[in-house]
């Protein structure tokens, strides 16, 4: 797929268009969006209970968080869950790798990008979906996950984490567990949320209960397990 430069994108956006051109483009875009939703719903609905692992595409295999993500995925599968990732390299690859090693369902929701993102080799062949639109991909993450484990990452990881937090806070989805792994990485963000956002009245103290911290694979997966034990639920619900 060819990708436009930033300047070309701006020129295209500002170029004069007539109504028929706009209408035709928008109509085809709607069909493309619908197609991604239909394909995603059909495949994801048949997969069963899963936990999503978020994290950076840039994390290398020798990094401690890569190894931790792989072990978390392995433990999740042994609990009976499948594992969903963004389908790319880094933490995503680690998650799929751990799920594959444990013999469980390894799902990848890939995105077409001009850099970084190629699907990793540890995704089940029938469980790889590739999206053009970020918002369609995020719907799949939110709709088909029973929990979210967030390892260190960049803008994309934070976007996905805050999407889940917002949907839970506004009760658009159920209060599934959100586990942030690596307090050393997340502590300053947590301090800003717990101090600045709370002090300015933009969130409540209770909203800080929407996520928890973990340092080890056992602790992260244990938080998921205890959450569902509280409701007498198991991964086959």
Distance CA 210, CA 218 (A): 20
Domains and CATH numbers, the chain: 6-230 (3.40.50.450)
Q: What is the mean pLDDT of the chain?
A: 91
| pTM to 2 decimal places | 0.87
Structure tokens at 95: 């998650």
| Residue 193: how many other CB atoms lie within 10 Å | 18
Distance CA 213, CA 177 (A): 11
Among 159, 171, 168, 145, smallest CA distance to 83 is for: 145
Concatenate the DSSP letters of all residues of 178-198 into one string. Answer: EEEE-HHHHHHHHHIIIIIIH
Res 236: pLDDT: 44
Res 186: pLDDT: 98
Q: Are strands 212-214 and 106-111 parallel, antiparallel or unpaired?
A: unpaired
Among 51, 61, 149, smallest CA distance to 105 is for: 51
Distance CA 95, CA 151 (A): 10
Distance CA 178, CA 52 (A): 10
Q: Coil, strand or helix: which one is 53? A: strand
Q: Is the distance from CB of 75 to CB of 217 less than 8 angstroms?
A: yes
For the chain, which ranges sit under pLDDT 70?
1-4, 6, 8-23, 116-117, 231-237
| Maximum CA extent, the chain | 59
60-75 CB burial, b ≥16 within 10 A, e <16:
eeebebbebbbbbbbb
pLDDT tens digits along 162-195: 999 999 999 999 999 999 999 999 999 999 999 9
Q: Coil, strand or helix: which one is 150? A: strand
């Amino acid at each position: 797929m060819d990708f436009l430069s930033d300047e070309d994108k701006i020129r295209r956006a500002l170029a004069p268009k007539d109504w028929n051109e706009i209408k035709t483009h928008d109509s085809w875009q709607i069909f493309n969006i619908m197609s991604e939703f239909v394909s995603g719903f059909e495949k994801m609905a048949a997969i069963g209970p899963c936990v999503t692992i978020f994290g950076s595409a840039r994390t290398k295999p020798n990094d401690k968080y890569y190894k931790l993500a792989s072990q978390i995925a392995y433990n999740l599968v042994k609990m009976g869950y499948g594992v969903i990732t963004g389908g790319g390299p880094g933490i995503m690859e680690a998650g799929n790798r751990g799920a594959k090693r444990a013999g469980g369902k390894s799902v990848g929701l890939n995105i077409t990008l001009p850099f970084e993102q190629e699907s990793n080799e540890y995704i089940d062949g029938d469980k790889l979906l590739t999206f053009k639109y970020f918002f369609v991909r995020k719907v799949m993450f939110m709709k088909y996950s029973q929990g979210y484990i967030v390892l260190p990452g960049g803008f994309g990881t934070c976007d996905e984490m805050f999407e889940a937090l917002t949907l839970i806070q506004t009760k658009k989805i159920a209060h599934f567990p959100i586990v942030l792994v690596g307090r050393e990485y997340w502590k300053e963000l947590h301090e800003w949320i717990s101090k600045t956002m709370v002090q300015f009245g933009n969130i409540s103290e209770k909203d800080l209960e929407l996520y928890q911290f973990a340092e080890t694979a056992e602790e992260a997966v244990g938080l998921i397990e205890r959450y569902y034990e509280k409701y007498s639920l198991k991964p086959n619900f």
